[in-house]
Structure 1
Amino acid sequence: MEFYKLMKSAAEDISLNFDEEKYNKFMLYKDILKEWNNKINLTAITEDEDIVKKHFIDCIKAFKFQGFREAKSIIDVGTGAGFPGIPIGIMREDSEIMLLDSLNKRVNFLNEVIRELGLKNFNTIHKRAEELSREKQYRENFDIATSRAVANMCTLSELCIPYVKVGGYFVALKGPSIEEELKDSKNAIATLGGRLEEVIPVDIEDSDLKHNLVVIKKVNSTPNVYPRKANAISKKPLK
């Protein structure tokens, strides 16, 4: 039960309720992740303690940003193995969460996790991020778009900000060194209708790990020319 105490401590640190029912869902998620990771590449982090600290607690700490407690609709762009979307949805079962990924194998894994954990507040979509946000029902339709360890802030902003309603937020879960990225992406964020609101430092329990939440507020509608096609985004990032 040491993981239970660790996760409960992390949740209490940010005033979140954590009980054995939630803990059991996380442990089942861990087991499914390890099983599927033998078949498809989902994560390089495979030790139980590392999964708890580097995946689960890291994602739970997203709630240091108050908006995650209030958002009704959240899209996790390039969710991969479900981070941060699934941990956020386990902690907040009254929010609607869309998990978006471009690889069908990963989407099959996500659907298995959702089914096995009995999660009712999730949907999954297999599509490229820059394509889905051009569809009317998804464009500027979410309170929060979030993403973790997918790309640099210039690219990530172009992929994520188009999903956010004006007045909503794009929240990137980033590593410890982000000053240069933020400086390089300032104009790109503004072009896409965003404004840097705050950077929230995150500590992970019982470790030296330090991360950041980069919070971008959507202040203007994203121009229709964005996002561009994938090759344009990769070859010529917005500056």
Structure 2
Amino acid sequence: MDQTERLFTELLSDHGLELSELQLEQFDAYYRELVDWNERMNLTGITEREQVYVKHFYDSLSLAFHVNMKEVHSIADIGSGAGFPSIPLKIAFPHLRVTIVDSLNKRILFLRHVVETLNLNQVLCVHGRAEEVARASDHRDRYDLVTARAVARLSILNEFCLPFAKTGGLFAAMKGSDPHEEVEDAAFSLSELNGNLIGISAFKLPVEEADRHIISIRKTASTPKKYPRKPGTPLKEPLTKR
């Protein structure tokens, strides 16, 4: 175990999360594939080993400090990019059935390669726009937990993500700086999409002490038929009171 892995495991242990030797090997392989593929396509601006482990891996797993992952069986990660937070969560919690949705096929090819290389089962990588994928019966109103990490403002994210959550399920939006203004701006979209704000968890990312926030939203009823709107519309015309 090198210094980076030691720091990583100590930080996780502080939150009661212990990793096996196999899981540490999977994180190491994930890091190596991320850096290798990043030389050919833009996956991340962060490639230094310790920074990847803290700013990507630990940051992704921070969701598990605020959500009881033992009660979560299915998760959808919308706009996953290089696989955050879903791949680290799958490594740490192998029981999860994971669906990753991303609109860029190159990223999906990378993620499928990672899934195969790390020998992860029950992971589906879907190439498509969230607005279209959420219309499919095998994804709509289906998931225990839906996540998105710094993809867009909450008024937009709600329309991307809440249609995937089952009634009673949870949408957890992972944010950096204080999102209270976003939350106020998203009140109308929550009411339209049957979401109920549970709360906002605030904490600091270790080492550099960067701000992190997790917005927790409960899905109270099935998604109204008119949502999500056609691709591109949520970005151009967010669901905010005018």
Name the CA distance, whole Å, in 1 between partners of 2:17 and 2:49. Answer: 23
In the alignment, what sits opposite 1:51? 52
1:166 partner SS:
strand
Greater shift in the superposed pair: 20-29 or 86-95:
20-29
Map 1:156-195 → 2, pairs under 5 A: 156-195=157-196
Structure 2 counterpart of 1:193, one-letter code = N
Count of aligned positions: 239
TM-score by length of 1: 0.96
Contact preservation (8 Å) 1:200, 1:214? yes
1:99 aligns with 2:100: yes
Contact preservation (8 Å) 1:63, 1:69? no
Contact preservation (8 Å) 2:146, 2:164? yes
1:15 aligns with 2:16: yes
Contact preservation (8 Å) 1:14, 1:63? no
1:84-105 Cα distance to aligned partner (Å, 9 max, x none): 0000000100110011111111
Name the CA distance, whole Å, in 2 between partners of 1:28 and 1:108. Answer: 16
In the alignment, what sits opposite 2:66? 65
In the alignment, what sits opposite 1:32? 33
1:52-107 Cα distance to aligned partner (Å, 9 max, x none): 11101100111012243311100001111000000000010011001111111111
Name the CA distance, whole Å, in 2 between partners of 1:232 and 1:99. Answer: 21
1:212-238 Cα distance to aligned partner (Å, 9 max, x none): 111100012221101111232122100
1:149 aligns with 2:150: yes
**What are structure 2's unaligned runs of at least 5 residues?**
none
RMSD between superposed Cα atoms in Å: 1.2
Contact preservation (8 Å) 1:10, 1:61? no
Q: Which consecutive segments of 4 or more residues in structure 1 shift more than 4 A?
A: none
**What are structure 1's unaligned runs of at least 5 residues?**
none
TM-score by length of 2: 0.95
In the alignment, what sits opposite 2:138? 137
After TM superposition, give the deviation of residue 202 of structure 1 in Å. 2.9
Name the CA distance, whole Å, in 1 between partners of 2:203 and 2:26. Answer: 23
